[in-house]
Amino acid sequence: MEQATTEGAIDREQLHELAQQLRVDSVRAAAAANSGHPTSSMSGADLMAVLLARYLRYDFDAPENGANDHLVFSKGHASPLLYGMYKLAGAIDDEELLTFREFGSRLQGHPTPEIPWVDVATGSLGQGLPISVGIALAGKRLEAADFRVWVLCGDSELAEGSMWEAFEHAGQAGLDNMIAIVDVNRLGQRGPTMHEWDTASLAARAAACGWDVQEIDGHDLEAIDAAYARALAAGQPAAIFARTKKGSGVAAVEDQPNQHGKPLADPEAAVEELGGIRSLRVEVQHPPTAQPYEIERTPVERPAYEVGEKVATRGAYGDALAWLGAVDEKVVALDGEVGNSTYAERFAAKHPDRFFEMYIAEQQLVAAGVGLQTRGWKPFASSFGAFLSRAYDFIRMAAISDADLKLCGSHVGVSIGPDGPSQMALEDIAAFRAVLDSVVLYPSDANQAVALLDAMREHRGVSYMRTTREATPVLYGPDESFRIGGSHTVRSSDDDAVTLIGAGITLRECLAAADELAGRGIAARVIDLYSVKPVDAETILAAAGETGALIAVEDHWAEGGIGETVAGVLAEAGAGTPLVRLAITVRPTSGPPAELLSAAGIDSPHIVAAAERSLNA
Amino acid sequence: MEQATTEGAIDREQLHELAQQLRVDSVRAAAAANSGHPTSSMSGADLMAVLLARYLRYDFDAPENGANDHLVFSKGHASPLLYGMYKLAGAIDDEELLTFREFGSRLQGHPTPEIPWVDVATGSLGQGLPISVGIALAGKRLEAADFRVWVLCGDSELAEGSMWEAFEHAGQAGLDNMIAIVDVNRLGQRGPTMHEWDTASLAARAAACGWDVQEIDGHDLEAIDAAYARALAAGQPAAIFARTKKGSGVAAVEDQPNQHGKPLADPEAAVEELGGIRSLRVEVQHPPTAQPYEIERTPVERPAYEVGEKVATRGAYGDALAWLGAVDEKVVALDGEVGNSTYAERFAAKHPDRFFEMYIAEQQLVAAGVGLQTRGWKPFASSFGAFLSRAYDFIRMAAISDADLKLCGSHVGVSIGPDGPSQMALEDIAAFRAVLDSVVLYPSDANQAVALLDAMREHRGVSYMRTTREATPVLYGPDESFRIGGSHTVRSSDDDAVTLIGAGITLRECLAAADELAGRGIAARVIDLYSVKPVDAETILAAAGETGALIAVEDHWAEGGIGETVAGVLAEAGAGTPLVRLAITVRPTSGPPAELLSAAGIDSPHIVAAAERSLNA
Tell me: the pLDDT tens digits for B461-492? 999 999 999 999 999 999 999 999 999 999 99
The predicted pLDDT at position B10 comes to 85
Nearest neighbour of B422 by CB, restricted to A33, A205, A400 = A400
Q: Could A165 and B161 be called an inter-chain contact, meaning their C-beta atoms sit closer than 8 Å?
A: yes
Contact A109 B590 (CB under 8 A): yes
Show residues of chain A in contact with B345, CB under 8 Å: 190
Q: Give the distance between the most distant pair of CA atoms in chain A.
A: 90
| pLDDT value of residue A8 | 53
Contacts of A392 (CB under 8 A, 6+ apart): A431, B389, B390, B392, B393, B427, B431
The C-alpha atoms of residue B179 and residue A346 are separated, in whole angstroms, by 40
Judge: B165–A159 Cβ closer than 8 Å, yes or no. yes
CA distance A387 to chain B (A): 7
Tell me the shortest Cα–Cα distance from A189 to chain B, in angstroms.
Answer: 6
- Measured between beta carbons, the chain A residues lying within 8 angstroms of B613 are none
CB contact (8 A) between residue B360 and residue A157: yes
Residue B8 pLDDT > 80, yes or no?
no
Query: Chain B: residue nearest A535 by CA?
Result: B559
Give the residue from chain B lying closest to A420, CA to CA.
B109
- Give yes or no for residue A3 having a pLDDT over 60: no
**Which residues of chain A make contact with B566, given a CB cutoff of 8 A?**
571
The DSSP secondary-structure symbol of B254 reads T
Answer yes or no: do A103 and B392 touch at CB < 8 A: no
**Residue of B191, B396, B418 lying closest to A33 (CB–CB):** B418
Strands A439-441 and A149-154, how do they pair?
unpaired
Predicted pLDDT of residue A616: 87
Closest CA to A171 of A359, A412, A318: A359
Q: Pick the residue from chain A with its C-alpha nearest to B558.
A: A434
CA distance A491 to A502: 12
Q: Looking at CA atoms only, how far is residue B76 from chain A in angstroms?
A: 9
Taking CA–CA distances from B421, the nearest residue in chain A reads A400
Q: What strands, in cross-sheet order, belong to the sheet with A238-243? A: A70-73, A149-154, A178-184, A238-243, A212-217
Q: What is the mean pLDDT of chain A?
A: 97
Q: Which residue of B has its CA nearest to A335?
A: B190
Q: Are B170 and B150 in contact (CB under 8 A)?
A: no
Tell me: the pLDDT tens digits for B326-381? 999 999 999 999 999 999 999 999 999 999 999 999 999 999 999 999 999 999 99
User: For the segment B393-428, what is each residue's pLDDT rounded down to a tens digit?
Assistant: 999 999 999 999 999 999 999 999 999 999 999 999
pLDDT (tens digit per residue) in A248-287: 999 999 999 999 999 999 999 999 999 999 999 999 999 9
How far A471 CA lies from chain B's nearest CA (Å)?
17
Predicted confidence at residue A9, as pLDDT, reads 72
Q: Which residue of A has its CA nearest to B337?
A: A190
A599 phi/psi in degrees, rounded to 5: -60, -30
Distance from CA of A13 to the nearest CA of B (A): 34
> What are the chain B neighbours of A572 within 8 Å (beta carbons)?
567, 578-581
Residues A2, A278 contacting (CB under 8 angstroms): yes
- Is the CB of A33 less than 8 angstroms away from the CB of B571? no
What are A117-156's pLDDT values in tens digits? 999 999 999 999 999 999 999 999 999 999 999 999 999 9
Taking only the tens place, the pLDDT of each residue in A503-513 is 999 999 999 99
Residues of A carrying an active site annotation: 362
- What is the average pLDDT value for chain B, to the nearest integer? 97
| pLDDT number for residue A7 | 47
Main-chain dihedrals φ then ψ at residue A246, nearest 5 degrees? -60, 135
Report d(CA A244, CA A267) in Å as an integer: 21
Nearest to B544 by CA among B510, B570, B522, B524: B570
Q: Write the single-letter amino acid at B132.
A: S
Contact: A207, B204; criterion CB under 8 Å: yes
How many CA atoms lie within 13 Å of A208's alpha carbon, on the beta-carbon side? 22
Q: Across-strand partners of A217? A: A243
Q: Are B435 and A427 inside 8 Å of each other by CB?
A: yes
Kindly list the residues from chain A whose CB atom is less than 8 angstroms away from the CB atom of residue B431: 392, 427, 430-431, 434
Cis ω before A534 (30° cut-off from 0): yes
Q: How near does any CA of chain A get to the CA of B258, in Å? A: 9
pLDDT at B450 over 80: yes
Select the residue of B112, B387, B560 nearest A430 (Cβ to Cβ).
B560
CB burial of A388-417 (b: ≥16 within 10 Å; e: otherwise) equals bbbbbbbbbbbbbbbbbbbbbbbbbbbbbb
| Helix axes A392-400 and B392-400, enclosed angle (nearest 10) | 140
- Determine the average pLDDT of the residues in B287-296: 92
DSSP string of A557-600? ESSSSHHHHHHHHHHHHT----EEEEEE-S---SS-HHHHHHHT
Report which of A45, A77, A80 is spatially closest to residue A249, judged by C-alpha positions: A45
Distances B25 to A418, B4, B278 between C-alpha atoms, Å = 18, 17, 9
In this complex, the residue of B164, B557, B599 whose CB is nearest that of residue A434 is B557
The pLDDT of B510-517, averaged and rounded, is 98
Residue of B nearest to A205 (CA): B205
Neighbours of B538 (CB within 10 A): 10
B420 contacts: CB under 8 Å, gap ≥ 6:
A101, A108, A109, A110, A112, A123, B588, B589, B590
Residues of A in contact with B597 (CB under 8 A): none
3-class SS of residue B125: coil
Distance CA B14, CA B163 (A): 34
Residue contacts between A and B (CB atoms, under 8 Å):
362
CB contact under 8 A, A419 and B533: no
What residue in B sits closest to A126 (Cα-Cα)?
B360
For residues B405 and B194, give the distance between their C-alpha atoms in angstroms, rounded to a whole number. Answer: 34
Beta carbons of B156 and A595 less than 8 Å apart? no
Residues in chain B: 617
Local confidence band at B617 (pLDDT 50, 70, 90 cut-offs): confident
Tell me if B578 and A581 make a contact (CB, 8 A cut-off): no
In this prediction, residues B161-171 reach a mean pLDDT of 98
Mean pLDDT for the stretch of residues A548-552: 97
Q: Cα(A22)–Cα(A33) distance, rounded to whole angstroms?
A: 16
Q: At what angle do helices A362-373 and A392-400 cross, to 10 degrees?
A: 20
Chain mean position to CA A427 = 18
The pLDDT of residue A5 is above 90: no
Answer whether B574 sits within 8 Å of A577, measured CB to CB.
yes
Nearest chain B CA: its distance from A305 CA (Å): 26
ipTM over 0.90? The verdict is yes
What is the rounded CA–CA span in Å between residue A573 and residue A550?
15
Least trusted range by pLDDT, from A2-16, A144-158, A451-465, B526-540: A2-16
Any idea what DSSP says for residue A252? Answer: T
- Give yes or no for a contact between A441 and A504, defined as CB atoms under 8 angstroms apart: no
Chain B residues whose CB is inside 8 A of the A211 CB are none
Residue among A79, A26, A19 nearest A270 (CA): A26
Residues of A in contact with B337 (CB under 8 A): 156, 159, 188-191
Residue A412 CA to residue A164 CA, distance in Å, equals 28
Residues of A in contact with B125 (CB under 8 A): 360
% of chain B beyond a pLDDT of 70: 99
Measure B379 CA to nearest chain A CA, in Å.
21
- Radius of gyration, CA atoms only, chain A: 27
Active site residue B64: no
CB contact under 8 A, B204 and A208: yes
8 A C-beta contact, residue A228 and residue A69: no
Q: Which of B168, B215, B362, B509 is catalytic?
A: B362
User: From start to end of A368-412, where are the E strands?
Assistant: 378-384, 405-410
CA A198 → CA A570, A597, B181, distances in Å? 59, 54, 28
Beginning with the edge strand found earlier in the chain, give each strand of the sheet holding A488-491 in spatial order.
A488-491, A524-528, A498-502, A550-557, A579-584
Structural Rg of chain B based on CA atoms: 27
Taking the CA atoms of residue A49, residue A53, residue A59 and residue A61 in that order, the dihedral angle to the nearest 10 degrees is 70
pLDDT the model gives residue B616: 87
CB contact under 8 A, B590 and A108: yes
Q: Residues B184-209: pLDDT tens digits?
A: 999 999 999 999 999 999 999 999 99
In a 10 Å sphere around its CB, with 0-12 CB exposed, 13-18 middle and 19+ buried, how is residue B275 labelled?
A: middle
User: Residue B598: is its pLDDT beyond 50?
Assistant: yes
Residue A1 scores a pLDDT above 50: no
- H/E stretch holding B502 reads strand B498-502
The runs of H, that is alpha helices, within A405-445 are 428-433
DSSP state of B354: G
On the question of a cis peptide bond just before residue B80, with omega within 30 degrees of 0, the verdict is no
C-alpha to C-alpha distances, B402 to A278, B436, B440, nearest whole angstrom: 60, 9, 16
Above 50 in pLDDT, residue A406? yes
Chain B residues within 8 A of A434 when measuring between CB atoms: 426-427, 430-431, 557, 559-561
A578 and B574: CB-CB below 8 Å?
A: yes
d(CA A406, CA A408): 7
Residue B278: pLDDT above 90? Answer: yes
